[in-house]
Structure 1
């Protein structure tokens, strides 16, 4: 009808990327650094619409006013969806401005949650409610028992993490420990998960659970449409806390969320503040536990990584559980430590 042609942008082409960034800037949007696929629609050589994705998350979506109502949104979404199908992915998310909700619901997306500026939607072969039902079956979670929850990255698992879990176990009938599944950390998820699972096996009322796509997923960080860092952080932490309260706490009967005191990390501290603000509105008590210290210094995963960089491997043994220490001494553990030593990544 309108004869639109979809063009893929080579993300290694600086000029092409710069052109997309310029178009997005006119909408007060940013092009995320982590996008892996970007398409545009042009008229007379000028970009008039664009959409990108990062893994299974649609983002950086914009359509010029003169093309609204022409079906171009469906063309963009369909083209990116085709790419996901090629990759064998059949479930996707969209982070967008609240004013775009109607566009995406008309294309079959379902709203998960919205806050003041941010909306999270999904589409695919399952939704968050079905995911949680599957989680209950997989981990044999009884919906009748009141539970506590902890969300951890454990990069790697330390005595500080174990102390927090033990405190929650002491104060609770049952504790669900969700390990962040996003593989953006120095220690891959499967190893972090196993370190924790083995490290708390002595606690009969603790279940260690894979965090999945709905808890602290780096791929869904909405940097592309909020410019100021404090806005980005506030939006992400508030939305994550809201999804956890609205869906996880309600379905799994979680009445308490334990968090560790955070004196150093700005992001974790902001996340804790959001949990304290949001979760009580869902009837969930947030309990902050003072961090465990050794010789006056707080035990943290960042301290472990710092010791690795400094080559002080022997000092690590005093601040990690045996499950972590044993893993660090495996072939894979030594390879990971070798990469950390020469990496400048914060995680």
Structure 2
């Protein structure tokens, strides 16, 4: 690499790192100011609070790194333009594509780290972050009830419960149906189901069992039955944030399992899966846009470049959130929803790059 490459690459990585170091403490301070009452009220140990904010840092750095990267590039490239350094580079015979090369090298480095973080580090941090939040900061979450849980738990069995209570590990009007091919061969119903966490067994109350025969059915009733069933109680209604806590291979396995069970949250899980790839890719697109916008010396100086950059950055985030929510709440393709912001801004990047070359 030549002097030009090292000069820009060091500014690229240095400014991005500085931007993270400046904004993350601000985020921690704001969050702590908001949560300090509950932390003191619940007498949470310092070690758990420290671990929570470590997870908080990783979680939000992964979530907002495209924004930090974009603003940092606009910042230092605008300074180069205001100091007429960009003009000096281009006047020396360096083409705009050659000038762009160290930016793309920097984007590759950041993208590689971001991809590793989103696949493995961020899920672990997200798990700790959400568990702490619901354990200490949102206790009402534990009392939620879910009506009409319907699941295919394996290739042959389907279950149903009308009232599912995570806190007490109970459910009402429970039914398990066993199929061989397309024909039901066995059915068990209970007015109440209770899961025992210590040994993973179930107690059924008000039990009716029906064995379906060729000529007639055999029906038996019991007041109470202790048994083992082929599913874990917590698997019936996974937390809405569970996809964020799984690494990429675990997430793919989880999605396949949820598809077989007929989960209504498949689109939400797919959005999380596709974003593991789309967010790092956005580093390249936003890098090109940032360079094209800020490499021109403007009459308003750096302020104009920052204003344009912040507007574009928040438009990108708006697109990302809106289409992600649409996919989660409807039948809109999650793949298309996740990649629309990158595709749209990729076209914008190509247009701005052509304009900057002129």
Give the TM-score of the pair, scaled to structure 1: 0.25
Higher strand content, 1 or 2? 1
Higher helix content, 1 or 2? 2
Compare CA radii of gyration and give the structure with the larger one: 2
Structure of higher RCO (CA pairs closer than 8 Å, 6+ residues apart): 2
